[in-house]
Amino acid sequence: MTTASAKVLYARRTAGFDDRVAHAAAVLQSAALDHAGRIVFATSFGAEDMVLTDLIARHQLGIAIATLETGQLHAETLALLPQVEQRYGIAVEVFRPVQDSVIHFVRSHGERAMYDSIALRKACCGVRKMEPLARLLAGREAWISGLRREQSNTRAVVPFREVDGEGRIKVNPLADWSWADVWHYIETHDVPYNPLHDAFMPSIGCAPCTRAIAVGEDFRAGRWWWEDEAQKECGLHVRKADERVAEPA
């Protein structure tokens, strides 16, 4: 596996960085106050999510932190969970798929069903991600994500606060951050991160559905690379641009 330090490659201080950090913290603080005890941060332990974890812990915002353990994550991703708990003194809530559903899906469609059709790939995401996400969000008024406008065309209009398809408030504190901002924050605050980022995987999901990208490839080119760009969401953050209902941050 070819590696190069993501911090060396990407971290760069650009104009307005301090303002973007302060704004992200303010968005988080405001959301924590508005939805005290009923707000959750759904982390995938990607670079953006590590920044958000650090901000939540640094400002002691009392926002629950939870993750989806799909049963298909890389060992490097799984190893971050105890590391985060130890570093920040927090307990991460872990939501796993229903075992019987996974067994039934694999028996019916095979271990590599995600490559056979978009419908089967989405069905796999349904069993391993969407159903556990519904449990993760049950009883919460608001959730936080690490979406950034720069990540892909389908995310180019991400607002700081929006209403999701279920009527829940979704907060995207890093909406205006660049990839250089994310890594500058990680570098300057010594934030732990997934070593797969050093192996040219900017966007990390389940192991069968993530590959390294080549120079010049799009940020999310390594996710579901056998599908069209427009299909490349697992359902967690699906929203057509003209369906977004933004709220003022």
Which residues are annotated as catalytic?
234
Q: Is 72 in the site for ligand SF4 (CB under 6 A)?
A: yes
Which of 133, 171, 174, 234: binder of ligand SF4 (CB under 6 A)?
234
Q: What values do phi and psi take at 63, rounded to 5?
A: -95, 130
Q: Is 208 in the site for ligand SF4 (CB under 6 A)?
A: yes
Give the DSSP H or E segment for 196: none
Which of 205, 213, 220, 222: binder of ligand SF4 (CB under 6 A)?
205
3-state SS class at 113? helix
3-state SS class at 123? helix
Name residues whose C-beta falls within 8 Å of residue 172's C-beta, 6 or more positions apart in sequence.
144, 145, 146, 147, 148, 158, 159, 160, 161, 162
Nearest approach in angstroms of CB 205 to ligand SF4 is 5
Total binding residues toward ligand SF4, as defined by CB under 6 A: 13
Q: Where are the beta strands (DSSP E) in 111-151?
A: 142-144
User: CB-wise, 53 or 70, nearer to ligand SF4?
Assistant: 70
User: CB-wise, 111 or 247, nearer to ligand SF4?
Assistant: 111
Is the separation of the CB atoms in 152 and 179 below 8 Å? no
User: CB-wise, 183 or 224, nearer to ligand SF4?
Assistant: 224
- In this chain, which stretch among 13-21, 81-89, 188-196, 201-209 interacts with ligand SF4, using CB under 6 A? 201-209
Nearest approach in angstroms of CB 198 to ligand SF4 is 21
Is the separation of the CB atoms in 172 and 156 below 8 Å? no
Q: Where are the beta strands (DSSP E) in the chain?
A: 39-43, 64-68, 93-95, 142-144, 161-163, 169-171, 245-247
- In this chain, which stretch among 31-39, 42-50, 51-59, 206-214 interacts with ligand SF4, using CB under 6 A? 206-214
Which amino acid is it at 190?
Answer: D
Residues between 124 and 163 with contacts to ligand SF4, criterion CB under 6 A:
124-125, 128-129
Residues between 171 and 190 with contacts to ligand SF4, criterion CB under 6 A:
none
Which of 66, 147, 175, 209: binder of ligand SF4 (CB under 6 A)?
209
Q: Where are the beta strands (DSSP E) in 27-99?
A: 39-43, 64-68, 93-95
Q: Is 233 in the site for ligand SF4 (CB under 6 A)?
A: no
Residues between 92 and 131 with contacts to ligand SF4, criterion CB under 6 A:
114, 121, 124-125, 128-129
Instruction: Number of helices (H) and strands (E) in the chain: give both, helices first.
Output: 8, 7
Site of interaction with ligand SF4 (CB under 6 A): 70, 72, 114, 121, 124-125, 128-129, 205-206, 208-209, 234
